Structure 1
Amino acid sequence: ETDLTDEQFTARSSAFTAWEQRTLADLFDHCGLSTRARTVLAAHAPTYGLPPGRCPLPTHAAIIDHYLHGAYYPKGGGQMLPAGLVEVIESHGGEVRTRARVERILVTSGRARGVTLTDGEVVTAPLVVSNADYTRTVQNLVGEEHFEPGTVRRTRGSTMSLPFAVLYVALDTTLPERPNANLWWYRHTDIDTGFRQLAEHRIDPVPFLFVSFSSLKDPAARNIAPEGHSNFQVMTLVPPDHAYWGADAGPADGGRYRRTDLYRRRKQELTDAMLNAAEEALGPFRGHITHLEAATPLTHERYIHSRGGTPYGLAGWGATGERPDTTTGVEGLHVVGTSIRYGSGIEGVATGAMMCASTILGRRLVPEVTRGAVLADRSLLPHRGEDFDPLAVSRGRARRHARGLARIDTARRPA
């Protein structure tokens, strides 16, 4: 029932209240499950980057509920999501600025007043919503002196979920016939064995894989793969330490790594190990590779400035299962993103954003959206022609046609 308040939901859900600060391993112990059964039921663990002994039960339950109700894929590929968001913002009078890094969130007299960019420009605003890494927001962008002592204490003691590495693979052939579904592949029947291996900084052989098949999910999209070709992504969890990857500091803090011998060696070792595991799971395909690109945690940190390069946000922030709310205690400052109480992943982040907007507007948006309400004015949205490029649109109007930038070839997209 989407109209229930948090208090009403808690009152009706005694089981949830009893287990909300317990781990997935606690539930497995309570049920007396075998090692193999634990691995099968926790197989989605790479989707949130935590072993059963550290995963809050609600986190795993939310992921399972998501897949049981059907996971969806945006027609045209994942880039369509930010492109659609930018279109809504710009068509309703907003502005999207990329390559405009924030140096500081301005707070005076306990209230957020705007931001200062790294080039010195000051942008004032009555509200600031930070989608940056939560710890960086508190400690670097705002400053601990503006937060309650409890918030500062939990943030200082916080830990992050494990990061992952990705191989982007394109083949000049189609994959052997398989279901149009994600693949979770495990080398061992004991999921904890794989997590212990990562804690020991051993990545070869790769203990588990998560594979997503873009060209199976949207076979008609020629911007994803030409006809007769395949496009898929191979992911696995990896050690988060900067030193392991050959960097003294992360790229978000100015660390250099891309040309160091250790980083290049680690990246190549990981690529080879992931390809070996992927061929165990899918069968031989290396002879058909036309494009292969690897992204490590340092790659992700360079782009999203997430602590440790994880896309999954906080693993620990106080008690088990506790995460920050969208309000911060600083008037006019709100937070969203992967570390908020509503979870990581697209669904969790989108839900957190709607809850943040609900707080700001004093309006319960989630029930409206669940019932199918469209909050934007569709008549204002731009027409998408045959040359629509979601990557260019996502950069914002000011940089949409900048020279020398990558573009998605839409010429081969079917009419």
Structure 2
Amino acid sequence: MVLNMLKALPRVLAGLLCRSGLLLRFVPFCHLATRSLRDVVDGLTTNPELRAVLCYIFPTYGTLPSKTSFSMHSLLVNHFLQGAWYPKGGSGEIAFHTINVIRKTGGNVLGRAPVQKILLDSQGRACGVSVKKGQDLVNIYAPVIISDAGIFNTYERLLPAEARALPGIQSQLRLATHGEGGFSVFVGLNGSREELGLEATNYYLYLGNDLDEIMNRYLSASREEAAKLIPFIFITCPSAKDPTWDTRYPGKSTISILTFAKYEWFEEWKDEQVNKRGDDYEDLKKAFVDVIMQAVFKLYPRIEDRIEYISGGTPLTNQHYIASAKGEFYGMDHNITRLQAETITTLRPQTDVPNLYLTGQDTSVAGFMGAMHGAFMCAGAVLKRNIYIDLMWLKRRTDAAKSTKKD
């Protein structure tokens, strides 16, 4: 609520509130946004296992307990208190149905057309984008440009240097740091959920209960030693969560595994072509995959001889396929600064470039819901109206219609 309110207020008024000290004094969310998760939890209990239990889900936003705020963690925990959901047919259904809505309203969605730059007119206003079509560039013009490429891609890669130097953009960039890089393993299996003993749940596996200590030891290691020190892996079985999976792919299953990895461990190969980065890169990647899979086999021993496909992905993989600037899973780091009032006020959809707006998780917080709230705030900024009020009225009308049908 505070996050949305500060971004909706005029920048001058929001700035006055920040400088007044009233938010820190009277709004618990703002006060706790200045304290680390570890600091608060350590003050609640001396039990190391309980501390770990209270903090274990931090990889969902990608920042260590000592470096993120208690408010950030509280947002996530509150989000999951009523349970979670999984889209029937998999995550691709989200894009599939969204694209239909865009096209019905006269828009379009282009695949394999990466944006190369944001176009500015002679007065410095955003007026279009230049996209790649094969080896050619095609300019597409529009009165409003909305970027969900993230703050780093939008400002540092897509905008020309003169726009990047604008004071408002520089003030936003000063508040932003890159999140931690990620390593992924995707596994295809021959066998059904029942045959392999797979579960529709998420596992967070740790080597110890001092989460900061084991993670810092790993992230400060050399790339040669890192694979032996992997302290955490996240394991999930997407096929076991999807009620339509067995109908579409009988006798097959999937597992996805994630952990952290430093971009710098793999940076040497950043300019090499994907899938052609050489034996040293593949050997390093395999070292991570082998250690990770040994942990997975302990959890799901029946899968060891049923693997039909396995693929490891480094921060460079993320950089190539999802255009994350440093191979991070979640864009901007969710450090203590991220949810402080000044940052919330500064990082808003409006930019110093007229007609250019930011949307997505970097204007809110990570994840599907965070990106959606970023979209609501961006739409409100473009349309100059409070979208949340529209949503409240829509919910009331929907609830009333449901009630009428029941009667």
Q: TM-score if structure 2 supplies the norm length?
A: 0.80
Letter in structure 2 aligned against 1:245: F
Q: How does 1:158-197 map to 2 (within 5 A)?
A: 158-173=176-191, 174=193, 180-196=200-216, 197=218
Q: How does 1:9-158 map to 2 (within 5 A)?
A: 14-108=27-121, 109-118=123-132, 119-146=136-163, 148-149=166-167, 151-155=169-173, 158=176
Distance between the aligned counterparts of 1:370 and 1:115, measured in 2? 34
**Which of 120-129 and 323-332 deviates more?**
323-332
- Shift in Å at residue 345 of structure 1? 0.9
**Aligned partners of 1:165 and 1:294 also within 8 Å:** yes
Letter in structure 2 aligned against 1:113: C
**Aligned partners of 1:168 and 1:232 also within 8 Å:** yes
Query: What SS does the aligned partner of 2:362 have?
Result: coil
Letter in structure 2 aligned against 1:125: A
**Aligned partners of 1:299 and 1:309 also within 8 Å:** yes
- Shift in Å at residue 116 of structure 1? 2.0
**Aligned partners of 2:188 and 2:307 also within 8 Å:** yes
Query: What SS does the aligned partner of 2:28 have?
Result: helix
Distance 1:23 1:107, change over 3 A: farther
Structure 2: 5+ residue stretches without partners: 10-16, 398-407
Distance 1:101 1:194, change over 3 A: same
What's the CA shift string for 1:262-282, capped at 9, x where partnerless? Answer: 210111111111101112333
Distance between the aligned counterparts of 2:137 and 2:190, measured in 1? 48
**Aligned partners of 2:67 and 2:336 also within 8 Å:** no
Q: What is residue 402 of structure 2 aligned with on the other side?
A: none
Distance between the aligned counterparts of 1:281 and 1:187, measured in 2? 14
Q: TM-score if structure 1 supplies the norm length?
A: 0.79
Distance between the aligned counterparts of 2:396 and 2:160, measured in 1? 37
What's the CA shift string for 1:127-179, capped at 9, x where partnerless? Answer: 00011131121122113532542531552674211122222222223356575
Distance between the aligned counterparts of 1:12 and 1:365, measured in 2? 29
- Shift in Å at residue 316 of structure 1? 6.6
Q: What is residue 362 of structure 1 aligned with on the other side?
A: 384
Distance 1:78 1:224, change over 3 A: farther
Query: What SS does the aligned partner of 1:65 have?
Result: helix
Distance between the aligned counterparts of 1:23 and 1:163, measured in 2? 21
What's the CA shift string for 1:233-276, capped at 9, x where partnerless? Answer: 111111221xx22635367xxx6673322210111111111101
1:239 aligns with 2:239: no
Letter in structure 1 aligned against 2:219: L
**Aligned partners of 2:68 and 2:336 also within 8 Å:** no
Q: What is residue 290 of structure 2 aligned with on the other side?
A: 272
Distance between the aligned counterparts of 2:247 and 2:220, measured in 1? 38
**Which of 260-269 and 171-180 deviates more?**
171-180
Distance 1:95 1:223, change over 3 A: farther
Distance between the aligned counterparts of 2:306 and 2:124, measured in 1? 59
Q: What is residue 314 of structure 1 aligned with on the other side?
A: 332
Distance between the aligned counterparts of 2:143 and 2:394, measured in 1? 30
Structure 1: 5+ residue stretches without partners: 376-415
- Shift in Å at residue 34 of structure 1? 3.5
What's the CA shift string for 1:200-232, capped at 9, x where partnerless? Answer: 141224311112221221133247642x43222
Distance between the aligned counterparts of 1:311 and 1:114, measured in 2? 28
Distance between the aligned counterparts of 1:188 and 1:318, measured in 2? 24
**Aligned partners of 2:130 and 2:138 also within 8 Å:** yes
- Shift in Å at residue 373 of structure 1? 4.7
**Aligned partners of 1:111 and 1:331 also within 8 Å:** yes
Query: What SS does the aligned partner of 2:373 have?
Result: helix
Distance between the aligned counterparts of 1:114 and 1:149, measured in 2? 22
For these two proteins, the number of residue pairs brought into alignment is: 367
